[in-house]
Chain A
Amino acid sequence: MRRESERDAAYQVDHLKFRYGNERNGAAAPWVLNGLTFEIQAGEILGVIGPNGSGKTSLLKLLAQVLRPHEGTIRLFGREMRAMSQNVVARSVALVPQDTQVAFPFSITEVVLMGRFPHHRHTGLLGGFGWDGPEDLRLAEQAMRETDVLQLADRSIGDVSGGERQRAIIARALAQEPHILLLDEPTAFLDLHHQLEIGVLLRRLNDERRLTVVLSSHDLNLASQCCDRLLLLDKGMVVRLGRPEEVIRPEVIEPVYHCRVLVDRHPESGMPRVTLPSGKPATSRQ
């Protein structure tokens, strides 16, 4: 039974601690993540929620090995991540950051094709070259079709709207053919229509490819709708991990967010739905 659960875990996070700043002046910096222990199952959609500064973004960056933990370990499919090269991680984990600023006028196709980088050989004196093969182009086209940016393919990434850029970056992550997709605030720049589309897309990828999805969100309702389980963080610690109906409850949410909330049920899905009370939100903090 125990072995079974180990094999099925995409991530095993054990006593993870992280803070910004280097070793010399790091002593003064507070822990951003202070001893997280939890597992992410392969094939699930996990939503990471919590107030500003609770460590959501840092956690996603640590899971993509963009940042390295100060203490504790992260195991990716049972393998200790510390020992894995960046390229090996990138072949199974894709990260969609909160916002991407591209310094030069790359076209959206070019940006999406960058997702193929971890699958190419790029060592040696000629490793800087190497061309995108038919398979790369096919995957890029498929990814752009899925995120609805194919008609923008030749536009410069700097010239499109924030939402279009976000979808292009999601397409890049899909072109990476990951087993695990990490998204930091994926819907922050999206209008309602595209919020829904991204939600549907994630669900479909999860069904069809058994893609494990970890997303952070401020939108508790979206998280509750999309996710199999929710991880509620506060001040770098796990408050609760469980199914949406176990986490989205007034007695769990209110002390973390310091405000009163109303929770009812979504009329279609029956999942919990959060509403702020009418009038002034009564803050319990001073």
Chain B
Amino acid sequence: MSQSGTSPTDLGSCSSAAPARVSWQTSVLTSGRWLVIILGLGCVSLLVLIVSLRFGAETVGFSEIVRILLLAVQDERAGLESAGAVGVIMLQVRLPRIFLAFLVGGCLATVGAGLQALLRNPLADPYVLGISSGAAFGAAVAMLLGIGTSLFAVSALPLCAFLGGLLSILVVYRITISYGYLPVHTLLLAGVILNAIFSALIMFITSMMDPNRSFGMMTWLMGTLTAPDYPALGVLALYFLLGMLVLFSQARSLNLLTLGEEAARALGVEVETVKRTVFFSAALLVGAIVSVSGMIGFIGMVVPHAVRMVHGPDHRLLLPASALAGGSFLVAADTVARTILAPAEIPVGVVTALAGGPFFIYLLVARKGRLAV
């Protein structure tokens, strides 16, 4: 009896399910779609890297670039010797700088995406929130005390930058929990105030230094990429990749956190652990970024936003895609910074701020309905 009663409805649901199946699953992120998008972005990144090698004070032809790269891959020393001065410029100056730009840009974008999820606010960014200036303050203190003589691992400078960044994050987070979430205007206000306080402190420190060192510090603060040597680049790459992997490992928890902390907790997310992990790795990454490249703004806000518009908000895709897109973006911005007034260079932070600032205003004005929390 129940058999005969259900069979017509079953048939009905089957026939309606067949066309529906196609449409309702289109927004589901599958491993196939993930791979296609990531590989696509990877190819674009590679293209940007190669094109950027071409430009600089001296333009190098593409065939020359490919030849030198191939030689270098086969045997680095032989490649250098046969390529001469152009080879030295490419392999010792441009290539490491481009790698550094890619790492810094990728990291900034990933950290930005992670902070946006955690604070449930699409305008969050290490620079806007004052985390970068906190880190810069830490680094400036290290420089003033003369404990930051070397730029990498052995120096106390990244550690101080990390502590400064962590301090800023904790202040922002404290404001967030007192509201339960972070309204846009509170976030901006907190960022403005933190930035003002830390800028004042940094200016104070700069005024204490002798003019030579203070000029170097000003350039560094504006965001500059200086080519490191390869071993240092390797250490940095390892550090950044580990930090980004830790952020990637929180991707699905971050998806759920965008529903709110209580909803995420009810779905089984250990919210406090996720928050600690993301805040701590964000502070570690921003500390390192600031100590190698100063304050480069807006990438962490603009890039995840753009990626989200194109590929949707799922953090499993958003985090790695932002890493690749952010890397490419900073490489491109740095190429502009290197070439637009060649042979002089402008700080890359100026380029990213000029590109990112208007976008930020556009988001505030044009999309205010969707951001008003």
Contact = CB atoms under 8 A, between A and B. Distances in A.
Interface of A: 61, 64-66, 85-91, 93-95, 97, 100-107, 109-111, 113-115, 117-118, 120, 122, 124-132, 137, 141, 144-145, 150-151, 153-154, 158, 176
Nearest to A130: B252
Contacts of B251: 128-129
Interface of B: 13, 17, 20, 23-31, 117, 120-122, 245-246, 248-256, 258-260, 262-263, 265-271, 308, 312-316, 319, 370, 373
Which of A88, A122, A125 lies at the interface centre, i.e. has the most chain B CB atoms within 10 A of its CB?
A122
A64 to B, nearest CB: 5
A106 B313 contact: yes
Contacts of A114: 255-256, 259, 267
8 contacts: A64-B265, A86-B269, A86-B271, A104-B122, A107-B27, A110-B29, A128-B248, A132-B28
A110 B27 contact: yes
Contacts of A93: 266
B275 to A, nearest CB: 13
Contact of A124 (B28, B249, B267): B249
B262 A144 contact: no
Nearest to A123: B249
B25 A101 contact: no
Given A85-B270, A130-B252, A176-B267, A150 B20 contact: yes
B24 A126 contact: no
Given A85-B270, A107-B312, A66 B265 contact: yes
Given A86-B270, A104-B313, A131 B31 contact: yes
A84 to B, nearest CB: 11
A62 to B, nearest CB: 11
A268 B271 CA distance: 47
Given A103-B122, A128-B248, 4 more contacts: A86-B270, A93-B266, A102-B259, A129-B316
A61 B261 CA distance: 12
B24 A128 contact: no
Nearest to A122: B252
B30 A128 contact: no
A122 B257 CA distance: 14
A93 to B, nearest CB: 8
Closest A-B pairs by Cβ, 9 of them: A90-B268, A128-B251, A153-B24, A118-B268, A107-B27, A104-B313, A87-B268, A95-B266, A103-B120
A188 to B, nearest CB: 16
Given A100-B259, A103-B120, A158-B370, A86 B25 contact: no
A272 B252 CA distance: 46
Contacts of B20: 150-151
A64 B267 CA distance: 9
Contact of B267 (A117, A141, A154): A117
A90 B266 contact: yes
A128 B249 contact: yes
B246 A117 contact: no
Contacts of B249: 124-128
A105 B316 contact: no
Which of A95, A103, A115, A118 lies at the interface centre, i.e. has the most chain B CB atoms within 10 A of its CB?
A103
Contact of B30 (A102, A105, A131): A131
Contacts of B266: 64-66, 90, 93-95, 97
A109 B250 contact: no
A85 B370 CA distance: 35
Nearest to A88: B268
A131 B317 CA distance: 11
Nearest to A154: B27
B316 A97 contact: no
Contact of B262 (A88, A97, A110, A150): A97
Contacts of A130: 252
B32 to A, nearest CB: 9
B373 A125 contact: no
B311 to A, nearest CB: 11
Given A113-B28, A131-B31, A137-B28, A101 B373 contact: yes
A127 B254 CA distance: 12
A110 B314 contact: yes
A141 B268 contact: no
A128 B246 CA distance: 9
Contact of A154 (B26, B270, B315, B370): B26
A110 B255 CA distance: 9
Contacts of A176: 267
Given A86-B268, A86-B269, A126-B249, A154 B258 contact: no
A27 B175 CA distance: 23
A127 B29 CA distance: 16
Contact of B373 (A103, A120, A154): A103
B25 A137 contact: yes
Contacts of A90: 266-268
Contacts of B313: 104-106, 110
A91 B29 CA distance: 23
B299 to A, nearest CB: 19
A215 B262 CA distance: 17
Nearest to B371: A103
Given A66-B262, A128-B315, A153-B23, A89 B122 contact: no
A49 B278 CA distance: 39
